[in-house]
Amino acid sequence: MSLYVQKYGGTSVGSIERIEAVADKVAAFRAKGHDMVVVLSAMSGETNRLIELAYQIQERPDPREMDVLVSTGEQVTIALLSMALKKRGYDACSYTGGQVKILTDNAHTKARIQQIDVERMRRDLDAGRVVVVAGFQGVDGDGNITTLGRGGSDTTGVALAAALDAAECQIYTDVDGVYTTDPRVVDSARRLDRITFEEMLEMASLGSKVLQIRAVEFAGKYKVPLRVLSTFEEGEGTLISLDEEDNEMEQPVVSGIAFNRDEAKLTIRGVPDNPGVACRILAPIGAENIEVDVIVQNISAVDGTTDFTFTVHRNDLNKAREVLQRVADELGAREVVSDDKIAKVSIVGVGMRSHANVASRMFSALGEDNINIQMITTSEIKISVIIDERYLELAVRALHSEFELSEPRKVQQGQ
Amino acid sequence: MSLYVQKYGGTSVGSIERIEAVADKVAAFRAKGHDMVVVLSAMSGETNRLIELAYQIQERPDPREMDVLVSTGEQVTIALLSMALKKRGYDACSYTGGQVKILTDNAHTKARIQQIDVERMRRDLDAGRVVVVAGFQGVDGDGNITTLGRGGSDTTGVALAAALDAAECQIYTDVDGVYTTDPRVVDSARRLDRITFEEMLEMASLGSKVLQIRAVEFAGKYKVPLRVLSTFEEGEGTLISLDEEDNEMEQPVVSGIAFNRDEAKLTIRGVPDNPGVACRILAPIGAENIEVDVIVQNISAVDGTTDFTFTVHRNDLNKAREVLQRVADELGAREVVSDDKIAKVSIVGVGMRSHANVASRMFSALGEDNINIQMITTSEIKISVIIDERYLELAVRALHSEFELSEPRKVQQGQ
């Protein structure tokens, strides 16, 4: 008998029929004697409908009132699920974020959870009730309704699991787990049984959008085992948990291949290579709220100048180019060039830490297919390369094959 | 500079355009320097949409969860109106019933207000903010969301006006006031400038459904001047206030003519006229939760039996007849007869108290048109007659004319 927190997303509760199906799932767990806390999103489309109403009034609606408005979406689904559970003979009780005291800061529309008062939930659980909580919302210290921003229901689930010391936080969604890479690119992409928090963070931020990144960070911080499963299909999903490389033989070198086409590359050529030049180039970019991802500075040329290259989100390319041109004029640089036909491909895996030559295996696999690497960046558990976007699928398939990700996991010795 | 509480119903906030129009109205009051508290219903149709969702799950949904569900309707409109006010440059802040601490008992779906904490509203008003409150809802002592039942937003308005000692509670609706009678029956029916709480209660309960009866009771109890006005037309509406017969010359004898066709008549004939017979007849009816309205007992006949007649709601007629037949058998009564082709017509006015012969004027006016009176019942400020429903319109017109209700109010001496 364990305590489970289950979170169901908008498509999982998108109609009365689907809410009834969720009630069946929850009831089955409860019938086994488990204590159940269920976190729900709004019915799919409802949050957008509400936001649309607000936009009819004003282009930038007041954030406090926006939270009052959109938080109604989850309040509808928690009431309906509780009714459906009661119909099945299971006692249940619904709570808004404010009622269950999910205390947040007052950053409306993107608030962060500070504290959760579990007393009332414990009392309900002890009385055998299923506790049904509105995701995505909380209340600030002054009693104002707040929301956690898009995807915040995942964070609510993890936070409740942490506060209640749950055995597992199960995120039910419309995919059945985390894959080695996008199955639309690689037919033989395989669902991972397990992945570490760190790997998931690298995968998520790189485009395998299964879970909200803040939820994963939160789960990692509080060591809440997180499982991603499908609402619509049976299966064990993917368990996201602590790094257990030391005690598990099956740890692979690389867990997955992430990629995206969202970036563009900017290069400033022939910059006089003085101390502090990187800062003088990047500070004006940051001042415009443009996020920079990969950064590479060439070694100085004979003439004492250098080239400086970085990537930004494609949507920011024009603005970044303008800023960079201004900087180039100030610094007396030769020219600014840009390229938005690039892609980023990354291999991710905690196993890299203890296995040598992972990078060279990656580069040689790409080289065998004549894929030119434009930029490289590495972290402890990730290696990313920037390539011409035409070669993206080819690169992902080559790497998926090189690191044998289609095979069930087995020990892979570093060479 | 006064404090006004304004309540806008579902049709008044039924679309974004209408919410913008309400914002204009509120802003105009605020611009004059008045302190404003606005109470809103859900957008018209929304509460029914939500109830329909619940009914898809269960025929009798859990009442606590029903309140969690339907209370979202008003939460949407308060957020939208606050945004619309801010767009116009007026600071505003929305509150759910729970946030503004409208404390109720825990009778879900029909809760009663027990207490209101005005501190937060006072702070907002002092800071120049328009306070926008969700009608129809509150919170019980355990923090559960409650609702006050259909039309409960009127009650919220009056309760807030009482708690804040407002100058007036203004109920904006789709009619422009209270009329002497239904204008669909009498062309010359006239809007009343003023009416007393007691008269309004008699008018409302008799079918002139402008205001929720509980709201009027509440307003009378706490002496909150109540004004009914149209959201869509200019005008002063009708002010419902204390009886000022003593100090106002313009007090008429009769203020209005109410009527309904909702009742049916039952007669038990030839009942042995023993002490306690009325109770033996009516107790079994009450036990079936059937409400009885007009009751008449004939004087005993020579044979020591009597006839006993009463009216019930037409929907209850069949059940009441069954019960009454059983009673008749037990008591050895001669027969039970019933008639659902009846109507009730009432004249209402606090002026009756001090003017004699109002009843005889009523009866003679009906007699002149050959309308037979089947039953009569009177209260201090009301006289009702039961007649054949075919004569309803004729009777209403005759009485409207007899008491000169089409004329602007003037002193009418009792004869």
Instruction: State the Cα–Cα distance between residues B22 and B45, nearest whole angstrom.
Output: 18
Q: Which two tokens stand for residue B123?
A: 């702070």
Residues 73-102 of B with CB under 8 A from A: 75-76, 78-80, 82-84, 86-87, 93-94, 96, 98-99
Q: Which pLDDT band holds residue A55 (cuts at 50, 70, 90)?
A: very high
∠ CA B106-A102-A137, rounded to 5°: 90
Straight-line distance from the first to the last Cα atom of chain B, in angstroms, rounded to the nearest whole number: 44
Residues A210-269 have pLDDT tens digits of: 788 888 888 999 999 999 999 989 899 999 998 765 555 456 789 999 998 989 999 999
Cβ proximity of A292 and A286 under 8 Å: yes
pLDDT at A204: 73
Q: Could you tell me which of A344, A349, A400, A350 has the C-alpha nearest to residue A377?
A: A344
CATH of domain B247-415: 3.30.2130.10
Confidence class for position B248, pLDDT limits 50, 70, 90: low
| Chain B residues with CB-CB distance to A16 below 8 A | 53, 56-57
Percentage of residues in chain A with pLDDT exceeding 90? 72
> Do A263-339 and A342-402 share a fold?
yes
Provide mean pLDDT across the span A277-283: 88
CATH architecture of the domain covering A342-402: 2-Layer Sandwich (3.30)
Q: What is the ipTM of this complex?
A: 0.81
User: What pLDDT does B302 receive?
Assistant: 80
Q: Which residue has the higher pLDDT, A359 or A275?
A: A359
For the segment B2-8, the average pLDDT, to the nearest whole number, is 97
pLDDT tens, position by position, B334-365 = 999 999 999 999 999 988 877 778 888 999 99
**A263-339 placed in CATH 3.30.2130.10:** yes
Confidence of residue A409 (pLDDT cuts 50, 70, 90): low
Cβ within 8 Å, pair A83-B20: no
> What integer is the mean pLDDT of B107-111?
93
Which of A94-108, A383-397, B9-23, B240-254 is predicted with the least confidence, judged by mean pLDDT? B240-254
User: Does residue A314 sit at the B interface (CB-CB below 8 Å)?
Assistant: no
Lowest model confidence (mean pLDDT) among A107-116, B70-79, B207-216: B207-216
Share of chain A above pLDDT 70, in %: 95
pLDDT over 90 (residue B163): yes
* Tens-place pLDDT, residues A189-215: 999 999 999 888 888 766 556 788 888
pLDDT band for B413, please (50, 70, 90 cuts). very low
Q: Under CATH, what is the fold of the domain A3-242?
A: Carbamate kinase (3.40.1160)
Residue A414 binned pLDDT confidence (cut-offs 50, 70, 90): very low
Residue B245 has pLDDT above 60, yes or no: no
Q: For B283-330, how does the pLDDT look when each residue is reduced to its tens digit (9 = 90+)?
A: 999 898 898 988 888 777 788 888 999 999 999 999 999 999 999 999
CA B68 distance to own-chain centroid: 26
Is A71's Cβ below 8 Å from some Cβ in B? yes
Rounded Cα distance, B214 and B201, in Å: 9
Note whether A177 contacts B: Cβ–Cβ < 8 A. no
pLDDT range class, residue B414, cuts 50, 70, 90: very low
DSSP A360-375: HHHHHHHHHTTPPP-E
A-chain residues near B19 (CB < 8 A)? 57
Percent of chain B, pLDDT > 90?
A: 72
Query: pLDDT, tens digit, for every residue of B265-284?
Result: 999 999 988 888 888 899 99
Q: Which fold has domain B3-174?
A: Carbamate kinase (3.40.1160)
User: In chain B, where are the structural domains located?
Assistant: 3-174, 247-415
